[in-house]
Structure 1
Amino acid sequence: MKVTLDNPPTVAAPFGDRFAHVARLDLDGGALLMLAGQVAVDDDGEIVAPGDAAGQATRIFEIIRQVLDAHGATFADILHIRTFMTDLGDLPAYGAVRRALFPAAPAGNPPASTTVEVSRLFLPGAVLEVEVTAAVSRRTTPKAS
């Protein structure tokens, strides 16, 4: 068993370098990836689409895709999605983005999911934070970071 904490070069560095974007646990035959919560920021750390759940969801999943890609994973490898929302009234907008990425049966099988409403997130204007856990069943190594 090997644990790697990583910040892929394809994704802006975490705020204050206080955490890793992904914790990777290598196991026989694959790896478990636990991604840190992601908010919709650009490469300069500025909020994208302030107050817009759909716009922020789109950006968040772009970031998640980049982190997964750096570890040889795709959305198909996601086991669980945990979402923090400042207003559950935004669920339809967020859900539309999610359904486009993770279709329901018979086209696909979306991952397990938890969604909770919180009073606020750490960046003003952020209305969503999403973290995922993924399992890579094939042998891959993280791309150089």
Structure 2
Amino acid sequence: MRRTLDNPPTVAAPFGDRFAHVARVDLPGGALLMLAGQVAVDDDGHLVGPGDVVAQSERIFEIVEGVLAGHGAGLADVLHVRTFMTDLGDLPGYAGVRRRLFTAVPPPASTTVEVSRLFLPGALVEVEVAAAVTGRSAA
């Protein structure tokens, strides 16, 4: 078993490289990818879509797709989505984005919780995912 912490070049480095975007565990026949929580920031770390949960959700999944792509994976490889929201009243907007992106039946396993705040002022949602890729060599 090989473990790798990585910030792939397919996305901007997270806030001065203070954490890894992805933890990868290579196993016989594939790999498990555990992504760090992502918030809606541009490549310079500025909040995208202030006050707009749909815009923030779309940006978050753009980042998630970029991180996954850096390891030969895509949204179809996602096993679990964990979501933190500052207001569950925003759930319909977020859920609409999720439904558009995850079309498989059934969709990935999911956990969604409301939190009092996120680390980035103005962030309405933060998303973590776990994905599995099969038959691909280590990145």
- For Structure 1 versus Structure 2, the TM-score category normalised by the shorter chain is over 0.9
Q: CA RMSD in A?
A: 0.9
Tell me which residue corresponds to 2:121: 124
Give distance in 1, aligned partners of 2:68 and 2:95.
Answer: 21
Tell me which residue corresponds to 1:96: 96
Tell me which residue corresponds to 2:39: 39
1:16 CA drift (Å) = 3.3
Give distance in 2, aligned partners of 1:22 and 1:51.
Answer: 27
Q: TM-score, normalised by structure 1?
A: 0.93
Deviation string 1:61-84 (CA, Å, 9 cap, x unpaired) is 000000000101111110000000
Tell me which residue corresponds to 1:73: 73
Deviation string 1:38-86 (CA, Å, 9 cap, x unpaired) is 0000000000001211000000000000000010111111000000000
4+ residue runs of structure 1 moved beyond 4 angstroms?
none
Give distance in 2, aligned partners of 1:140 and 1:128.
Answer: 32
3-state SS in 2 of match to 1:34: strand
Task: Give aligned pairs, total.
Answer: 139
Which residue identity lines up with residue 30 of structure 1 in the other structure? G
1:14 CA drift (Å) = 1.1
What are the ranges of 5 or more consecutive residues in structure 2 without an aligned counterpart?
none
3-state SS in 1 of match to 2:24: strand
Deviation string 1:9-58 (CA, Å, 9 cap, x unpaired) is 12111123221000000000000000000000000000000121100000
C-alpha contact 2:11 2:67 (8 A) present in aligned 1: yes
Which residue identity lines up with residue 123 of structure 2 in the other structure? A
Tell me which residue corresponds to 2:135: 138
1:109 CA drift (Å) = 2.2
C-alpha contact 2:10 2:69 (8 A) present in aligned 1: no
C-alpha contact 2:14 2:20 (8 A) present in aligned 1: yes
Q: TM-score, normalised by structure 2?
A: 0.97
Q: Work out the percentage of aligned pairs sharing the same amino acid.
A: 74
Which residue identity lines up with residue 8 of structure 2 in the other structure? P
Tell me which residue corresponds to 1:114: 111
What are the ranges of 5 or more consecutive residues in structure 1 without an aligned counterpart?
none
3-state SS in 2 of match to 1:93: helix
